[in-house]
Chain A
Amino acid sequence: MFKATDILNPGFLDQPLSQIWELISPLYAVDEASWLTELLPLAMPNANERQQITLGATTLIEQVRADDGAIHMIDALLLEYSLDTHEGILLMCLAEALMRIPDAETADALIRDKLSVADWKAHLQNSDSLFVNASTWGLLLTGKVVSLDKDEDGEPSNVINRLVNKMSEPVIRKVMNQAMKIMGHQFVLGRSIKEALKRGRSDRDKGYTYSFDMLGEAALTSQDADKYFNDYKQAITAVGKDKYEGSAPIPTISIKLSALHPRYEASQKSRVLGEMSDKLLELIRHARSLNVGITIDAEEADRLELSLELFQQLYQHKHTRGWGELGLVIQAYSKRALPVLAWLAALAKSQGDRIPLRLVKGAYWDSEIKNCQQRGLSGYPVYTRKEATDTAYLACARFLLSENVRGHIYPQFASHNAHTVASVIAMAMHDEFEFQRLHGMGDSLYNTVLKTNNVAVRIYAPVGNHKDLLPYLVRRLLENGANSSFVHRLVDARCPISELVNHPADVLASRESLANPYIPLPVELFGDERKNSYGYNIEVDAEWNHFKALIQPFMKTTWQAGPIINGEVISIHTTEHKKVAPYDHNQSVGQVNFANASHVDLALEHAEKAYPAWRDTPVTVRAQALERLADLLEANYGEFMALCHREAGKTLQDGIDEVREAVDFCRYYAVQARLAMSETETLQNFDDSTLEISRQGRGVFVCISPWNFPLAIFLGPITAALAAGNTVIAKPAEQTSLIAFRAVQLMLEAGIPAGAIQLLTGEGATLGEPLTSDKRVAGVAFTGSTGTAQRINRSLAKRQAEPVPFIAETGGQNAMLIDSTCLPEQVVRDVVRSAFASAGQRCSALRVLFIQKDVADRIIPMLRGAMQESTVGNPEYHQTDIGPVIDKRAQAGLLQHIENMNKNASLIAQTPLPFDAEKGTFIAPSAFEISGIERLSEEQFGPILHVVRYKASELDSIIDSINDSGFGLTLGVHTRNETTANHIAQRVRAGNIYINRDQVGAVVGVQPFGGQGLSGTGPKAGGPHYLKRFTREVQSVKASSSQKTNTQSPLNDKA
């Protein structure tokens, strides 16, 4: 690991740039404690500094608290509406959504929803701030009416609910909208750059300058990116031509790269360094001509390395050389921040142009953590304690203020923490730096700093339409509104100053562990119960290079597979089938020998013979074998990735998700088996006898799996069946037999006895009937089409034998409902993923999107634009979003449907195909507008989305139409109205319901998966009841003592 204190060595920046670059990526998710141990000496003050910092911070806080005007605007709001209250959260929800809702009906419903659950009354007159009491939320108005009404009903929330119902809704809406506008006015310096410049003059007169930020969501379409580009350009022009004549420095413009390109992602590097770089150079040239500095904002951790590469390209370009006003933002919460700063300083030193650098603590902390937890990554790219981030900030600040860096980097310290400010002042040996604060926050703190120090302060000021900015600003409020936030505590007089001036390095060093014990690592997400499967972050060089090296050796492999019966690979009487990659039929993947009907009998014979021994094997031994299998799958990650690409046409991320799900199934069912099968349950029977119930396997289970999840859904039912003590005959889809074969080889290696797992590769038409009509079969688990499920069911029923469990996961006609409270960007991102990821070949994939008509004209063009930006192609490549469909038969069916839709529906968009698409079986992702779900007779298992517009008043009839389809697998909902979400979730008969997110990617043990009606029988895979369906209950009854003398039947004799 890189030794952090080396960074202060005089020669450090003279190393070759590439050498310093190499230090960055390995720190992406480095062990937190080890790295913080490195950083602490850099942050830790010496005795003099410590004294100076404590004194400086104490004085600042005292002055701020003595200032009558200190608590106002956002600070006051945060203090009153703390985020540990319902009201605080609901306020944010309302603020985030209300202004963008175009229709009155939905806006009123949202207000009603938020007001009905909160205790607003409790907040009235708690705050002295005019902003909170008079301007905010329109609640004073409602509050007064509430108090008049109080005798009638003591519950304030009910009163408000009634009030909202009783008062004219347009009046309430008007008041609330007005309140939102006032809030927007407080947070946003101006709706246009001209207004912002005008409003900023008074602060500039006080000595402040500005960095204007044309905030908004990330662009999803090139049209949106063009709009933001023009906004930035106009802003630069306006700032450059502003006639302000004061002495404050000229403002700069902050730009958000994700607003300037719809695919600002590591996977699209060539586009970023090509077309996006060109656009940026145009902005730079324009800004330079007007001498308006540009700062590139920081974004998510996955984009850090990409943004640095882009920055280097821009910085070294002839348009920029010699300017010294192209800056960027670095987040101190990133574990990579320190070497990044060193690299930038070395870059600046090598070119000789100063780099303005804003050091922030970081704005996406919570989403970074959640993202890593969801992806099962090795660790976090950010620190898990607040004081660790503060410590890292000070370590970075010390480096930036060091003599080595002076003149190369112009540090801009953005913080609202008085202690951080005092620390920077104490550490600085020169005055070539500035502070930055957010508009509307820290006013009093920096007014004091300006008065007492000769230092520049810049205000970071959002500019734009209030409705566009509120979602972003709500984030800021949430961050700063957390009770632990310094901003919150600074204005809270109950918090002693002595607590606020503790040095974060001291606080951190005093902790028992440097990492936060309350935030488990992604692999430890399930605690002691089981290990989480791990994934790789392919957006980060260090991880991607390592992962690529694991996959590469298998990219030319050709695999051989065939039936495995009693541990032997069978080749006699099999039929040879060549396998080619679905995306390139010239690429041979291997060969599979298909079994014939005679192999079925042999497999059944061995499976039946092996059953008693496996059933009687202790459950812990069976469970351990599955856990070894999970470890073996992870140990063979690279090979399975290559197989997923080459046999199943899966993209990189789909391959990772596939392996992870398979691993999770193994570990989850191992746990479930131990839980369900370790002990005998004793209960008192209805007749007072004692009932002892234990579970055991049922016998030979047949597991028939599909090609779309060739490892995960292949292994899911098999591992459940095995863990429960059954022996298994596995019949994988013929399209993905190679993956299944490798999985079975690993099962044998993991210690599953040869008799317990039989693999029959081959066609359903040949093997299905003999398998499912045999009386030796004790149960069937099947995933596939509804039609095939019915055929299997009939075959089982013909046996003249006791019915056996038939667990079927079948088709879907999955819908998503979005109302006008939704955030369009979020919706479109989730729709594109839900409908087109894995080329739409997921059981859960979105097929019918219902859009409330009031927002349809905003969302449909955005969807069209986003579809244009997707990349269809070879799934081996990082840049590919959507791969091929599985085979020619699937392709032909989908093409037929597209042809029908072209004749009978209106095409919204079609993603372009790659130039060499004819080499494989590709389908252009397509979206069509149709009149209703009734137009669709069957599921189209591919990248085809249907869109239906509906009126808000038609919601219930839309729900009826979804239910009437008979399918019930997944449902997506996007709404900010909880009442609406609950209503939909209550009424739609679907197995998996997802609110405000995409509707694919169910996680084992977290989102048990499965449908109802035509979509399946249950129980849910990856849920607590699934494994039990693979068991037989063994009962023994012990008569009660009274029964020994009383032989009378316990049953009612009156019937």
Chain B
Amino acid sequence: MTNSTLASAIKTAESAWEGWNALGLTARTKLLYIAAEELNQPLVNWLLARITTTMPETIILPGPTGEANSLRWSGRGLIGICAEKAHNTLPQEACNPAIAAQLFTALATGNVVVLQASNKYTHRLHSALLNAGVTPDAVQISSASTEELAGCEAFHAYAFCGQNADVIALNAQLAQRDGMLAQLISETDFDAYATLTSLDYPWRFVTESTLSVNTTAVGGNATLLELGGKSDS
């Protein structure tokens, strides 16, 4: 793949991020479940269910009366989904579900992706997503190597499947980049999928945002005024 093709894929995906992220978790997972059905990957379904049940999109936080504080999350942005080169040393039947899980998690959590086209299965994943109605621009497929992907500063994170040595090498390469610090979310355990099944795994794909609204800016604190006159006996 030429650099310009990758650049174009990145640009396309980036342009889709705002819309895809703004869809909201429910709408995104609805589409992803359709795609997952076609793929019949228990790990993917399990993760989608976990994300929908354990990641409330807004958490209301406490604070002084007259102030509304909430913690929300959204996708980090652009994520590279990649795996050890041509799956040389990994059994595909163990690695493929992990790639699928990384891809679906990235999308469910509001990210757009460039999926490394490492084998037939990745093309199948891509088709399943498009068939399900996932915004095509949000899922780019690319023949770029992991090294090529790792060299691009546009990526906010990489979801990687491979062996420890590859993770260390990729991490070292990512650290050489300028710009933002890229997150590396790697699965190296293809027996138990220790990373993918961990509690914190989907949270690695998101960035949090706190919204604080002074609800009394207009001039009064109606909630408090009501409390001041509230009868308790």
Contacts and interface: CB of A to CB of B under 8 A. Distances in A.
B23 to A, nearest CB: 12
Interface in A912-965: none
A516 to B, nearest CB: 7
A1017 B174 CA distance: 14
Interface string A1004-1024: 011111101110011110011
Interface in A785-807: 789-790, 793-794, 796-798, 800-803, 806
A161 to B, nearest CB: 20
A501 B207 CA distance: 56
Interface string A470-502: 011011011100111100000000000000000
Interface stretch (B3-11, B27-35, B135-143, B214-222): B214-222
A261 interface: no
A518 B227 contact: yes
Given A93-B218, A367-B216, A1014-B180, A1050 B42 contact: yes
Contacts of A790: 175, 178, 181
Interface string A499-520: 0000000000011100011110
B127 interface: no
A366 B220 contact: yes
A475 B59 contact: no
Given A793-B175, A1054-B40, A992 B209 contact: yes
A1033 B204 CA distance: 14
Interface string B158-172: 000000100110011
Contacts of A474: 218-220
Given A1010-B208, A1052-B41, A686 B226 contact: no
Given A385-B228, A386-B228, A1005-B62, A994 B212 contact: yes
Interface stretch (A162-170, A351-359, A368-376, A868-876): A368-376
Contacts of A1006: 61-63, 69
B97 interface: yes
Contact of B197 (A511, A526, A686, A1028): A686
A482 B212 contact: no
A1012 B194 CA distance: 27
A1023 B200 contact: no
Contact of A479 (B198, B225, B227): B225
Contacts of A1033: 198-200
B121 A1055 contact: yes
B152 interface: no
Nearest to A485: B229
B84 interface: no
Contacts of B217: 823, 826, 976, 995-997
Nearest to A1036: B192
Interface size for chain B: under 10, 10 to 19, 20 to 34, or 35 or more residues? 35 or more
Interface stretch (A35-43, A616-624, A880-888, A983-991): A983-991
Contacts of B186: 803
A789 B181 CA distance: 8
A380 B184 CA distance: 49
Contact of B71 (A477, A681, A1023): A1023
B145 interface: no
A84 interface: yes
B94 interface: yes
B65 interface: yes
Given A366-B225, A484-B228, A1029 B200 contact: yes
Nearest to B173: A797
Contacts of B212: 992-995, 997, 1002, 1007
A912 B179 CA distance: 37
Contacts of B124: 1055
A1028 B200 contact: yes
B225 A686 contact: no
Contact of B62 (A525, A1018, A1035, A1052): A525
A681 B227 contact: no
Nearest to A1001: B212
B209 to A, nearest CB: 6
A365 interface: yes
Contacts of B77: 989, 1013
A543 B187 CA distance: 57
A1053 B93 contact: yes
Contacts of B172: 797-798
A367 B184 CA distance: 46
B222 A478 contact: yes
A670 B197 CA distance: 26
A1006 B172 CA distance: 36
B88 interface: no
26 contacts: A366-B220, A366-B225, A367-B221, A370-B64, A370-B67, A475-B220, A519-B227, A527-B62, A693-B198, A790-B175, A794-B176, A797-B171, A806-B181, A826-B217, A966-B180, A989-B77, A993-B212, A996-B213, A997-B213, A997-B217, A1005-B61, A1017-B181, A1025-B208, A1051-B94, A1051-B96, A1055-B97
Interface of A: 83-84, 89, 92-93, 96-97, 365-367, 369-370, 373-374, 384-386, 471-472, 474-475, 477-479, 482-485, 510-512, 516-519, 525-527, 681, 685-687, 691, 693, 789-790, 793-794, 796-798, 800-803, 806, 808, 823, 826, 966, 976, 981, 985-987, 989-997, 1002-1003, 1005-1010, 1012-1014, 1017-1020, 1023-1025, 1028-1029, 1033, 1035, 1037, 1049-1055
Given A370-B221, A1020-B210, 8 more contacts: A384-B228, A478-B219, A991-B208, A993-B212, A996-B213, A997-B214, A1007-B69, A1051-B93
